[in-house]
Amino acid sequence: MQPDTGTHTHTGTDSGTPPTSPRPSKPLKDMRRFWRVLLAVVAPLPMTGMGLSYILSPVDGGSSFEATVTAYTGHLDQARVTQYLGVPFLVLLIPATFAVIWVSRRGAPRLTTAGALLALLGQLAGFPLNQGGDLLAYMTAKRGLDVPTVAALQKALEEDPLALTGGLLFIVGIVLGLLLLGLALWRSGAAPAWAGIALALGGFTHPFMPGHIAAGIGLLVAAAGFAGAGWALLRMSDDDFDRAPGRPA
């Protein structure tokens, strides 16, 4: 038997050092209001900008490349303004569509899902694959490029299978996708009834409107529908918008 020397080997909590308790975690920042207001503000901008672009355009949509160049040549500043007005459409249409989806998804889940799939597929395919000829016509008019040569290039681009596919998907997304989302918005009861009707009618009728002014008005009607979804987001509570932030268990 070994004598007790009075010394002990200390390990763990026996070392005399008090155990350290975990530091309390800093509460997560609640950003729900920021995203809710941001989506509400963004929602009407794309269709409003594109609607005004159509109305102010010096040429009807669907005109030949040569006719577009001729119209732009006499109205270069006006043509440039219409292109700037179209920027929100290219940049913000997908977030604006998500704003509608977020409002209607609980009250009309099936319609919202169907409309979202069509609308977002059309937008994601149409934007990169279907490059419109307005900018090409504008640069031809501004730089004095050879019209027949650039027109041949534009025709070749439009007839490319990828461009044709993108254009078809984009039309389906705008016509059918927004129609279904408008019906979902109306059926969900989360936004005023007029908002869903405006979105459905504006998106569905826009491609069939005669002349650029009527087409622009159709887009402004759709913009009113998006604005109605934005209004619903502003009136929504943060808890209805999304779950409060928290760490996973």
Is 14 a member of any domain?
no
pLDDT of residue 33: 96
Is 246 a member of any domain?
no
Please name which of 144, 175, 42 lies closest in space to residue 102, comparing C-alpha atoms: 42
Is 3 a member of any domain?
no
Is 7 a member of any domain?
no
pLDDT of residue 45: 97
* Residue 50 contacts residue 84 (beta carbons within 8 Å): no
pLDDT of residue 148: 92
Is 91 a member of any domain?
yes
Contacts of 142 (CB under 8 A, 6+ apart): 72, 76
pTM: 0.83
CA atoms within 13 A on the CB side of 45: 19
End-to-end CA distance of the chain: 52
* Residue 103 contacts residue 188 (beta carbons within 8 Å): yes
Number of domains in the chain: 1
pLDDT of residue 225: 97
pLDDT of residue 15: 52
Is 199 a member of any domain?
yes
| pLDDT string in tens for the chain (249-residue length) | 445 544 444 444 455 555 555 565 677 899 999 999 999 999 999 999 999 999 999 988 778 889 999 999 989 999 999 999 999 999 999 999 999 999 999 999 999 999 999 999 999 988 776 656 788 888 999 899 999 999 998 888 888 888 889 889 999 999 999 999 999 999 999 999 999 999 999 988 877 888 889 999 999 999 999 999 999 999 999 999 999 987 554
Domain that holds residue 188: 31-240
Dump the DSSP string for 193-223: HHHHHHHHHHHHHGGG-SHHHHHHHHHHHHH
pLDDT of residue 205: 83
Is 200 a member of any domain?
yes
Is 63 a member of any domain?
yes
Helical axes 109-129 vs 161-172, angle rounded to 10° = 150
